[in-house]
């Protein structure tokens, strides 16, 4: 019998702890502040920004939104970020991705001060994640580690197989699991005999962006399966990168989609913002 990992429950627990620490900081005269920049009118981005604003309100943080028109230039965006880098009330800065195609995304992200880069996308913070000595970890991988700890799932000495090598999830997840003393294998689109490798995983992380990609024959009996994917099917329903119904009975723990990894991402963003505020002392 498997256990469904409840991302909403874990998220609520972490947010309660964040709220307590925010109250402690407020008593010292500091209110953690998150500045979120959104360029253009992408509906999905608007939903994400609204949820981040809501998360700030729930935990007692300040939320600063900068909604810029579609035609904003790279230079104008960089100028705003440089201004926010110097704002004392702003502890975290986030530029909602994707930005319009004419904007130089890399240049924009690299302008955010590493001390306020609560997404942990700046090369300085990527390097710190690599060495294991970091203040901010990328939010989705950090959320998965938090879930494993919440459910007391042992990681040290276990074989963790990650499908996907993105800079946002796959690569940093590998670093975080190494820090937890797992043995890590990263698979990707060029990996040969993929199922043979995934079947060796004690902990399997699916982050490929392909609906129901991971099937039962790819999973070891008793494995822990963490599904990062969010895919919309033709009938409008959401599903993950794992074929949940086919895979779940083989697992010991598994995250559903929706309600699994997803709720943790914004929660870890709030945790990073709190850490940034604490670092000002």
Instruction: Give yes or no: residues 80 and 156 share one domain.
Output: no
Determine contact, residues 81/93, Cβ cutoff 8 Å. yes
This prediction's pTM: 0.95
Would residue 17 count as lying in a domain? no
* Residue 276 within a domain: no
**Rounded distance, CA 258 to CA 7, Å?**
9
The residues carrying an active-site annotation are 52, 96, 119
pLDDT tens per residue, range 92-112: 999 999 999 999 999 999 999
Q: 274 exposed, middle or buried (CB, 10 Å; 0-12, 13-18, 19+)?
A: buried
Mean pLDDT of 162-179: 98
Q: How many domains does the chain have?
A: 2
Q: Let me know if residue 24 belongs to a domain.
A: no
Grade residue 281 by pLDDT with cuts at 50, 70 and 90.
confident
The verdict on 92 and 180 lying in the same domain is: no
Q: Which residues are within 8 A (CB) of 66 and not within 5 positions of it... i.e. 6 or more apart?
A: 35, 36, 37, 38, 80
Q: Return all residues near 193 (Cβ < 8 A) that are at least 6 apart.
A: none
Listing from the earlier edge strand, what are the strands of the sheet with 183-187?
3-4, 251-254, 223-227, 203-206, 159-163, 183-187
Q: Residues 47, 161: one domain?
A: no
Domain membership flag for residue 167: yes
Question: Tokens 């698979």, residue?
Answer: 187
State the residue range of the domain holding 92: 29-113
What proportion of the chain, given as a percentage, has pLDDT over 70?
A: 100
Peptide bond just before 251 cis, omega within 30 deg: no
Average of pLDDT values for 259-270?
A: 97
Average pLDDT across the chain, whole number = 97
Instruction: Label residue 236 by pLDDT band (50, 70, 90).
Output: confident
Give residue 14's pLDDT band: very low, low, confident or very high (50, 70, 90).
very high
Asked which of 64-68, 123-127, 236-240 is least confident by mean pLDDT, the reply is: 236-240
What's the rounded mean pLDDT across residues 190-209? 98
| Amino acid 246: pLDDT | 97
What confidence score (pLDDT) does residue 27 get? Answer: 97
């Amino acid at each position: 019998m498997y256990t469904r990992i409840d991302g909403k429950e874990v998220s609520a627990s972490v947010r309660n702890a964040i709220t307590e620490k925010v109250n402690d900081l407020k008593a010292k005269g500091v209110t953690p502040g998150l500045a979120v920049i959104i360029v253009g009118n992408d509906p999905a981005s608007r939903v994400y920004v609204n949820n981040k604003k809501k998360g700030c309100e729930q935990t007692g943080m300040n939320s600063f939104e900068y909604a810029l028109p579609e035609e904003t230039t790279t230079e104008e965006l960089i100028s705003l970020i440089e201004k926010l880098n110097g704002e004392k009330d702003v502890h975290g800065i986030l530029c909602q991705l994707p930005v319009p195609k004419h904007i130089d995304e890399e240049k924009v992200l690299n302008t955010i001060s590493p001390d306020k880069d609560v997404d942990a996308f700046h090369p300085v913070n990527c390097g710190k994640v690599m060495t294991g000595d970091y203040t901010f970890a990328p939010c989705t991988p950090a959320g998965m580690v938090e879930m494993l700890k919440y459910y007391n799932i042992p990681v040290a000495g276990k074989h963790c197989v990650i499908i996907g090598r993105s800079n946002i999830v796959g690569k940093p997840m590998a670093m975080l699991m190494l820090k937890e003393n797992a043995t890590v294998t990263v698979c990707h689109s060029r990996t040969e005999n993929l199922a043979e490798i995934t079947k060796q995983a004690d902990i399997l992380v699916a982050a490929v962006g392909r609906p129901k990609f991971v099937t039962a024959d790819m999973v070891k009996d008793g494995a822990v399966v963490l599904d990062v994917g969010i895919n919309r099917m033709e009938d409008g329903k959401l599903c993950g990168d794992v074929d949940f119904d086919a895979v779940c009975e083989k697992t010991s723990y598994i995250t559903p989609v929706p309600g699994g990894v997803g709720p943790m991402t914004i929660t870890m963003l709030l945790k990073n913002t709190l850490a940034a505020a604490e670092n000002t002392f």
